[in-house]
């Protein structure tokens, strides 16, 4: 007799159970949550203080000539905060997958009636909630500490860019997860990813300074559009296509393509690994 597929309600139950388990775990480590807020501020403070030390009172004027805004403090805090969201997305999915491999529970997921994508979705939802809280708190606290107003410009539009960028971002994490599944390594890949991602999305600088080929590569990375969209909404640095709705349309295109492409690649790699060495070997 054929086995009946789990209902949507059952799958959603798995998703929220996965998210709730991880939220309960991190709630036992409040120090880690504090560090989640402090690290982006420190990360942004280094170039901010360096700029103040080398350019003095003219730092804002010089910065405006290259970026379109004299508020270099908020510019860099936005970059650091969005980078936190992006970094945590890759970090949490990669380490969840690697942890399942090392503990031998990844194989058990394939024997359960629920598709493993719902467990991954629960991990992604947890990662999303944690990173959004950390990024927002870091941006507000960092702005207060460094003496700038955190919310100027179109705040609602800035949040819309962030929310629109989350789906393609987590679609890309499936590509990263496929690499982790294949090479059976997370630490080295995470370290490499963080440097590459921060460079491509222009955490502390506009991608307009890139040579043409590198700029094109950066524009194929959804977080680049998310970062510039938030900066343009709050600081008025200028959208890539001059109008906010055109830039947002690009993010929506990524929203449709990235998850489907990421899942397709992940499924192909997963099938290859299962039919050869198996997912239990690490």
Q: Is the pLDDT of residue 281 over 60?
A: no
pLDDT digits (tens, 9 = 90+) for 37-78: 999 999 999 988 887 777 766 667 777 877 888 888 999 999
Can you say how many angstroms the Cα of residue 123 is from the centroid of all Cα atoms in its chain? 13
| C-alpha to C-alpha distances, 275 to 68, 168, 186, 279, nearest whole angstrom | 53, 29, 22, 9
**Separation of alpha carbons 256 and 151, rounded Å:** 30
> What span, in angstroms and rounded, lies between the C-alpha atoms of 161 and 252?
10
What digits encode the pLDDT tens for the residues 88-132? 999 888 888 888 777 777 777 766 777 778 888 889 999 999 999
Task: Report the mean per-residue pLDDT for the chain.
Answer: 86
Looking from the CA of 220 toward its CB, the CA atoms found within 13 Å total 6
Per-residue pLDDT, 1: 44
CA gap 230, 110 in Å, rounded: 40
pLDDT the model gives residue 267:
85
């Amino acid at each position: 007799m054929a086995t009946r597929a789990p209902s949507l309600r059952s799958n959603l139950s798995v998703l929220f159970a996965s998210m709730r388990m991880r939220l309960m775990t991190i709630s036992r480590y409040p120090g880690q949550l504090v560090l989640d807020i402090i690290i982006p501020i420190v990360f942004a403070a280094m170039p901010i203080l360096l700029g103040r030390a080398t350019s003095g009172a003219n730092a804002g004027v010089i910065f405006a000539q290259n970026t379109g805004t004299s508020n270099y403090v908020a510019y860099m805090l936005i970059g650091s905060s969005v980078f936190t969201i992006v970094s945590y997305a890759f970090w949490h999915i990669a380490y969840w997958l690697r942890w399942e491999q090392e503990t031998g529970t990844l194989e058990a997921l394939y024997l359960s009636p629920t598709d493993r994508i719902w467990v991954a979705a629960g991990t992604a939802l947890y990662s999303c909630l944690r990173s959004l809280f950390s990024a927002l708190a870091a941006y507000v606290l960092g702005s207060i500490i460094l003496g700038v107003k955190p919310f100027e410009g179109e705040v609602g539009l800035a949040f819309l860019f962030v929310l629109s960028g989350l789906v393609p971002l987590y679609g890309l994490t499936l590509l990263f997860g496929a690499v982790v599944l294949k090479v059976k390594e997370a630490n080295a890949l995470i370290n490499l990813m963080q440097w590459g991602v921060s460079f491509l999305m222009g955490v502390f600088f506009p991608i307009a300074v890139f040579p043409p080929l590198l700029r094109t590569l950066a524009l194929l990375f959804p977080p680049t559009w998310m970062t510039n969209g938030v900066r343009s909404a709050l600081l008025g640095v200028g959208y890539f296509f001059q109008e906010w709705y055109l830039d947002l349309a690009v993010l929506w295109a990524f929203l449709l393509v990235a998850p489907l492409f990421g899942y397709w690649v992940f499924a192909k790699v997963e099938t290859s690994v299962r039919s050869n060495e198996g997912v239990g070997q690490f």
